[in-house]
Amino acid sequence: MSQATLTAASPRTPAVVLGGTGYVAGELLRLIAGHPTLELLAVMSEGSPGEPVAGAFPHLASAYSETRFATLGEVTKLLAGTPASAVFSAAPHGVSAGLIDALLAETARAGTSARIVDISADFRYASAAAYEKVYGHAHGAPALLEDFTCALPEHLGELTTPHVGHPGCFATAVLLAAMPLLALGLVEPMLFVSGVTGSTGSGRRPVEGTHHPLRHGDLYGYNALAHRHAPEIVACARAATGVEAEIAFVPHSGPFARGIHVTVQARLTRALDAAQARGALSEYYARAPFVRISDRAPHVKEVAASNFAHLSAAANGRTIAVMCAIDNLVKGAAGGALQWMNRMLGLPETAGLCQPAPGWT
């Protein structure tokens, strides 16, 4: 179904964005503006209530020239009067769960319905204890954990919960590369991962790691073997495949704004050459519209600002290396969340997400 046909045939669904001034929220707003059936109802920012959205995101002025940030109270009131809505939370870790809890409590009282995709880390673990072990503070809404599933759309055939916790951007890239290897039993369950991310992955607030004079022209590792996405990757892989994998993950900061490139290496359980390895990936992702397998090494510039993931593989009979490039803000966050919401609303998974990468970011 074409986007024009979908627009004409489908009713509009009100959409809400929480945590509205960050980079991921900006990407959500951009994608919603071009979506065939979603229509922005409100964007919440407790730090900028009443301020124009175009002030925070001048590049979105043509879509939201009159829109202003709302408070939590204003958003809950709107949702209470909206029969069904799509809610995206781009609020910070540790904050998102409380906001979602308040919204769901209000919609329950009003008898309305909201489907939620949370892009923070608050609903990526099955238990409060697992979350608290990684993030070092109590979970904001432990009673809601059973209502969320954390997975990528490519790795879960049927969603059995009303809401989704989207994996992190690094986790998205690693899982796209690693899941076929584990699910097909191609490798020993010990993964060695090296990844490079752009500066937008650190968020909008300037810090030393995103300061341009320091980051430009440089490359350095950080949190080696101790990154918080590592246990998340292990948990997602376990839930999807039943395999208890180990991961040795070394992330790096790259001298570019957006994009992630990861290389996942593992010892093969049976001899494969490169063509066979890529064939296995192609078969695994045959029905995944945003995953492309090539014999050409993936380039960040070829996926930046898009929802596509490019993968390739090399193998020498004993070891396999799978490389994956994604955009951290789109496929790793806002686009992946919208992909989930499309499925939750019964829409084509690709709705509003097929724009190609610009290529010269």
- The percentage of the chain sitting over the pLDDT mark of 90, rounded to a whole number, equals 91
The whole-chain average pLDDT of the chain stands at 95
Sketch the domain layout of the chain as residue ranges: 3-150, 170-328
Kindly tell me if the per-residue pLDDT of 295 is higher than 80. Answer: yes
Fold observed for domain 170-328: Dihydrodipicolinate Reductase; domain 2 (3.30.360)
> What's residue 3's pLDDT?
65
Kindly tell me if the per-residue pLDDT of 309 is higher than 90. Answer: yes
pLDDT confidence of 201, banded at 50, 70, 90?
confident
Annotated catalytic residue within 150, 169, 236, 324? 169
- Global pTM value: 0.95
pLDDT confidence of 203, banded at 50, 70, 90?
confident
Mean pLDDT of 46-72: 96
Pick from 283, 286, 281, 288: nearest CA to 339: 288
pLDDT confidence of 51, banded at 50, 70, 90?
very high
- Continuous segment of H or E residues that includes residue 135: helix 128-135
Where b means 16+ CB within 10 Å and e means fewer, 234-248 reads bbbbeebbebebebe
Fold observed for domain 3-150: Rossmann fold (3.40.50)
Long-range contacts of 100-106 (CB under 8 A, 24+ apart): 100/18, 100/141, 100/144, 101/140, 101/141, 101/144, 102/72, 102/76, 103/18, 103/72, 103/75, 103/76, 103/79, 104/144, 106/76, 106/79, 106/80
> What's residue 8's pLDDT?
59
pLDDT confidence of 4, banded at 50, 70, 90?
low
Mean pLDDT of 91-102: 96
Distance between CA atoms of residues 29 and 282, nearest Å:
32
pLDDT confidence of 215, banded at 50, 70, 90?
confident
**169 annotated active-site:** yes
Distance between CA atoms of residues 204 and 199, nearest Å:
9
* Residues 232 and 121: beta-carbon distance below 8 Å: yes
> What's residue 50's pLDDT?
96
> What's residue 361's pLDDT?
80
